[in-house]
A and B are shown apart, each in its own frame.
Chain A
Amino acid sequence: MRRCPITTYIIRRLLQAIPLLIVISMVVFALISLAPGGPMSAFEENPNLTAEDIARLEEQLGLNEPIYKRYLKWAGHIVQGDWGYSNATRRPVLTEIGDRLPNTLQLMITAFIVTLLIALPIGILSALKQYSLFDHVATFFAFVGQAIPVFWFGLILIIVFNVWLNNPVSPSQGFAFSNLWNCGDCKPLMPGGGMAPYGVDDPTLGQRIQHMILPVTMLALYGAGTYTRYMRGQMLEVIHLDYIRTARAKGLSERRVIVRHAIKNAITPVITVMALELPLLFGGALFTETIFSWPGMGRLFYRSAQRVDYPLLMGIVMINAVLIILFNLIADIAYAFLDPRVTYD
């Protein structure tokens, strides 16, 4: 029987991911154990408890067992879906994260699509018209986009679109273009934070989109610069290859050469790398959600860090590590599918 190489490849990659996850969980656990303010801190501050009480509690909670035993116990709970409770809210860690994850994914996926729509066409055009004015301008902006600190960019977006510019439709005078910058009773052009207007529980689609514009712009900035440059580089590499010359030589139209032969091959590694680096957006989301009060995982992490809420912090890190490994795997497999030159050994 012929073994399907891609299935074996996937299985092997999955098996390789397991030890990595175990080691990461060990690092995570070691950090929890190092941290002061562990589960006993609440009791230690309680004046009604004597030293014996605390010792008995430690015994009950298993805190004086050796660290490897505690790790195994903890890992057992993690596998069974018991991730502990937030020190601050006393709600289960998985519930807290589960509440926020969809909001973060909504932001990240939209930003990912926006990045694709900006980076791929500009990168391709830039390469096709190498050294043209368009190429120079695009490359410059890509460089700028890579160098702007995202958090600063977010603050600038707020001051320009929330503080300085108004919605040109004034309640008293109606629409006037000058209302944009000079208007007494206008609303800001863009909301400055949150997922919906204040006090609105069930926002309309328009309101949702409005609240997403600035955060998504902020989150898409870095990737747009990086991947524009990457796309341009890949495209330049491909259009100088022999098979493109062959395609031209056998009389294909230029359009067909570019679209069917060049772009198709140049775009594969770019999309793979983007998918691979998608989890990096969680890091970006940390800043975006903090600046725009977006109720997602990034903001949850920020708040938990302020409250030194370790169970929640560790839960979020674990989820992130799992996602990074998962995305790595998906990207590798996608690459193997898309590029017939990849061998699976």
Chain B
Amino acid sequence: MTTTASPIEFSESMHPERTMRSMIWRRFRRHRMAVVGAIVLGALIFGAVSVSWISPYDPEKSSMRERRQPPSLEHPMGTDTLGRDMLTRLMYGGRISLSVGLLATVIGVTIGILVGSTSGFYGGTTDNLLMRITDLFISLPRIFMLIIMALLLRTVDVPILQAYGGVGGIVMILGILSWTGVARLVRGQFLGLKEKEFVEAARSIGIRSPRIVFGHILPNTATPIIVAATLLVAASIISESGLSFLGFGVQPPTPTWGNMLNAAQDEMRKGNWWMAFFPGLMIFLTVISINYIGDGLRDALDPHKVD
């Protein structure tokens, strides 16, 4: 046995540094647009986090003398109808828009994993019931339900949901309406994996079901979940901005990219293009970056790909 080197040992001796992580990273780097996406997204996140230190302007203080100024050196993205610096407000808006996308995804993915793993692991009646509920959620017309739930939310008197223009509530309803894809995905993976030998082995040495689900099967489904979650962040950001654009999402003065676009609607018909152009550009850059990153991750994490 020692004399015949297996192909794996052979390649390992050729590239001693090639661990799983370095391999994934290498493959990700090869997807050029994904790397560009990661850099752009990184810059947007940096701007959102650091704005209070790097911007000389207050996001909420209006300045009557500086109303509706086109982009200039002092205001690279112009000013809005109240004379507030657009770039500063966009960076503050990024805080809200990006965290809404992220938190809604966390909720959606958590529900999705719970429903999908229960369904796939236990099968039978449980599976049937949970999948019918999933079907129901899928057939609800999404944007319409979002608006109705946002309207209902306004009447709910829970501080955590109402703070900062209702961000908490928006996160909640986005999460509630976005778990179905992950649930179906996880269920499908579980159906295949639960018959595998390693699950039987785990069971035979007396490990309990919850531990088998979360400790043994779930880690094996990580790849598609990570990709789906990445894309869900982008979808949630679009949903939040769409809702806020229509005026049913996060309420001003808390700035988000969506409600800044809402405020810009009439201005734009007067030719003040920058007020609508830049908020949308931010959404677009974020979404396309995340989509490319998701694409890159899909390639990088694909276990069937050999290089």
Cβ–Cβ contact B292 & A305, under 8 A: no
Of B242, B245, B273, B292, the contact of A159 (CB 8 Å cutoff): B273
Contacts of B261 in A (CB 8 A): 151-152, 155
- Decide if B143 is an interface residue (CB 8 Å cutoff): yes
Interface string of B262-278 (1 = CB under 8 A from A): 00110011110100110
- Decide if A20 is an interface residue (CB 8 Å cutoff): yes
- Contacts A24-B136, A143-B33, A159-B271 given; 13 further ones with Cβ under 8 A? A143-B292, A152-B280, A158-B269, A159-B277, A163-B271, A279-B141, A287-B245, A287-B246, A291-B265, A306-B247, A314-B148, A321-B139, A321-B141
Closest to A140 in B: B33
25 A-B pairs with CB atoms under 8 Å apart are A20-B135, A20-B136, A24-B139, A143-B33, A144-B288, A146-B291, A147-B288, A148-B284, A149-B241, A151-B245, A151-B280, A156-B280, A159-B268, A159-B277, A163-B268, A279-B141, A282-B141, A305-B151, A306-B247, A313-B148, A313-B151, A314-B148, A317-B140, A321-B140, A321-B141
- Decide if B53 is an interface residue (CB 8 Å cutoff): no
Within the complex, what minimum Cβ distance (angstroms) separates A161 from chain B? 12
Interface of chain B residues 229 through 274 with chain A (CB within 8 A): 234, 238, 241-242, 245-248, 261, 264-265, 268-271, 273
- Decide if A133 is an interface residue (CB 8 Å cutoff): no
- Decide if B171 is an interface residue (CB 8 Å cutoff): no
Within the complex, what minimum Cβ distance (angstroms) separates A220 from chain B? 17
Cβ–Cβ contact A283 & B280, under 8 A: no
Cβ–Cβ contact A155 & B265, under 8 A: yes
Within the complex, what minimum Cβ distance (angstroms) separates A285 from chain B? 10
Contacts of A158 in B (CB 8 A): 268-269
Known contacts A24-B136, A155-B264, A158-B268; A283/B155 CB under 8 A: no
Within the complex, what minimum Cβ distance (angstroms) separates A308 from chain B? 6
Consensus secondary structure, chain B interface: helix
Give complex CA distance A328, B245 in Å.
30
Identify the B interface with A (CB < 8 A): 33, 132, 135-136, 139-145, 147-149, 151-152, 155, 234, 238, 241-242, 245-248, 261, 264-265, 268-271, 273, 276-277, 279-280, 283-284, 287-288, 291-292
Known contacts A156-B277, A279-B141; A317/B148 CB under 8 A: yes
- Decide if A324 is an interface residue (CB 8 Å cutoff): yes
Known contacts A290-B246, A301-B144, A317-B145; A152/B284 CB under 8 A: yes
Cβ–Cβ contact A35 & B141, under 8 A: no
Cβ–Cβ contact B284 & A147, under 8 A: yes
Interface of chain A residues 86 through 130 with chain B (CB within 8 A): none
- Decide if A27 is an interface residue (CB 8 Å cutoff): yes
Cβ–Cβ contact A31 & B277, under 8 A: no
- The 10 lowest CB-CB distance pairs between A and B, nearest first, are A152-B280, A147-B288, A320-B141, A283-B143, A147-B287, A155-B276, A149-B283, A151-B245, A36-B155, A305-B147
Tier of interface size on chain A: 35 or more
Give complex CA distance A192, B268 in Å.
12
Interface string of A132-160 (1 = CB under 8 A from B): 00000000000110111111110110110
Contacts of B242 in A (CB 8 A): 149-151, 287
Give complex CA distance A14, B223 in Å.
37
Give complex CA distance A317, B140 in Å.
8
Cβ–Cβ contact B155 & A20, under 8 A: no
Give complex CA distance A20, B134 in Å.
11
Contacts of A308 in B (CB 8 A): 151
Give complex CA distance A18, B155 in Å.
32
Within the complex, what minimum Cβ distance (angstroms) separates B145 from chain A? 7
Within the complex, what minimum Cβ distance (angstroms) separates A38 from chain B? 11
- Decide if A34 is an interface residue (CB 8 Å cutoff): yes
Contacts of A163 in B (CB 8 A): 268-271, 273
Q: Which of A23, A27, A305 has the most CB of B within 10 A?
A: A305
Cβ–Cβ contact B144 & A320, under 8 A: yes
Cβ–Cβ contact B140 & A286, under 8 A: no
Contacts of A34 in B (CB 8 A): 152
Contacts of A279 in B (CB 8 A): 141
Cβ–Cβ contact A23 & B136, under 8 A: yes
Give complex CA distance A31, B140 in Å.
13
Contacts of A159 in B (CB 8 A): 268-269, 271, 273, 276-277
- Decide if A325 is an interface residue (CB 8 Å cutoff): yes
- Decide if A316 is an interface residue (CB 8 Å cutoff): yes
Give complex CA distance A317, B144 in Å.
7
Closest to B143 in A: A283
Within the complex, what minimum Cβ distance (angstroms) separates A163 from chain B? 5
